[in-house]
Amino acid sequence: MATTGQVAGGLTAYDRHVLMAVNAGAASLSFVGSGFIVLCYVLFKELRKFSFKLVFYLALSDMLCSFFSMVGDPSRGFFCYSHGYSTHFFCVASFLWTTTIAFTLHRTVVRHKTDVEDMEAMFHLYVWGTSLVVTVVRSIGNNHSHLGTWCWSQSGRSGKALHLITFYMPLWGAILYNGFTYFQVISMLKNARRMAAGMSDRAYQSDARADMKALNRWGYYPLILIGSWAFGTINRIHDFIEPSHKIFWLSVLDVGTAALMGLFNSIAYGLNSSVRRAIYERLDLFWPDRLKRWFPNSSKFRNQEQESELVALKIEDQH
């Protein structure tokens, strides 16, 4: 590591500018992706079901987290505060909303309950309340040190330990919960498919295959949080053990993958068949006939059987 231009924390001024550029670029992509899902929810009335409403709250949290990541600048006092508190609050809220989606799937598919819509107020209290508590706890004794790219990069071991406790412990708890929940949901649907295979009811078999096709991709959803925060977790643990030795390439991966979480969530959770169908239907109204010949598959979404955003949320049919 070069000694000229060295800043606190073992990173050069050039390293710090690179990290800020990576963060701003990745956060911009997440802001656009999550903002697109929020816009779809606002514009398309057919998406305003409880199932997609949870995805909307997730996208809204990602959008605000990305926004404050972009405007945060450790060299400016007010923006430093907004960067530190707001990004922590909305990033925590983001991964907590994924646990409510997993909980809703599990309660509907595995436990066969239809009361998840009545739990919306409890979901809000759980997500926003928990995010507020851990943000306030982390602010205790925080001096908003300007290390690296982040206002809340603290040099003291107690501050770093508090960061691990208030962010990374809840994060990995959410990852473990989501993974276990999706494993149970997928296992149950696989059992249902095996039962359907031995039945003569072709319609039932078709429903089981449709559910499995949609749920198979959900088994990968916990990997979004793992991919977004694995490098950050390693970097924080390394910084806690070896505070005087910063690894630049690990910091780049940490900043880049964490800032892309909103983009990953918007693609995986938000850009489902219902959203694509709604977009194609609107485009089909305005596209000239000569352009429709170049996109013959756009009209097929109007004739497809509607796929539920969360598969198991057939609540409207069960009421």
Residue 251 covered by a domain: yes
**CATH number of the domain bearing residue 260:** 1.20.1070.10
150 beta partners: 147
Residue 4 covered by a domain: no
Closest to 261 (Cα-Cα) out of 105, 80, 31? 31
> DSSP secondary-structure letter at 164?
I
State which H helix or E strand residue 96 sits in. Answer: helix 77-109
DSSP per position, 174-196: HHHHHHHHHHHHHHHHHHHHHHH
As a whole number, mean pLDDT of residues 258-274 equals 87
In this structure, what are the phi and psi dihedrals at residue 147, rounded to the nearest 5 degrees? Answer: -100, 135
- What's the pLDDT tens digit per position in 15-36? 888 988 999 999 999 999 999 9
Residue 312 covered by a domain: no
The answer to whether residue 130 scores a pLDDT higher than 60 is yes
Residue 318 covered by a domain: no
pLDDT band at 111 (very low <50, low <70, confident <90, very high): confident
- What's the pLDDT tens digit per position in 39-68? 989 988 888 888 889 999 999 999 999 998
What is the percentage of the chain residues whose pLDDT exceeds 90?
A: 37
Residue 72 covered by a domain: yes
Q: What's the whole-model pTM score?
A: 0.81
For residue 119, CA distances in Å to 99, 129, 244 come to 13, 15, 47
What domain count does the chain have?
A: 1
- What's the pLDDT tens digit per position in 138-179? 877 555 544 444 565 555 778 788 888 999 999 999 999 999
Q: What is the pLDDT of residue 176?
A: 95
Q: What is the pLDDT of residue 171?
A: 96
Tokens for 50, please give them.
């409880």
Structural domain containing residue 234 = 23-288
Residue 87 covered by a domain: yes
Helices (H) and strands (E) in the chain, counts: 14, 0
Residue 14 covered by a domain: no
Closest to 309 (Cα-Cα) out of 224, 194, 191, 221? 221
- Can you tell me the distance from the alpha carbon of 80 to that of 195, in angstroms, rounded to the nearest whole number? 57
Residue 9 covered by a domain: no
Tokens for 149, please give them.
């790219």
- Can you tell me the distance from the alpha carbon of 194 to that of 197, in angstroms, rounded to the nearest whole number? 5
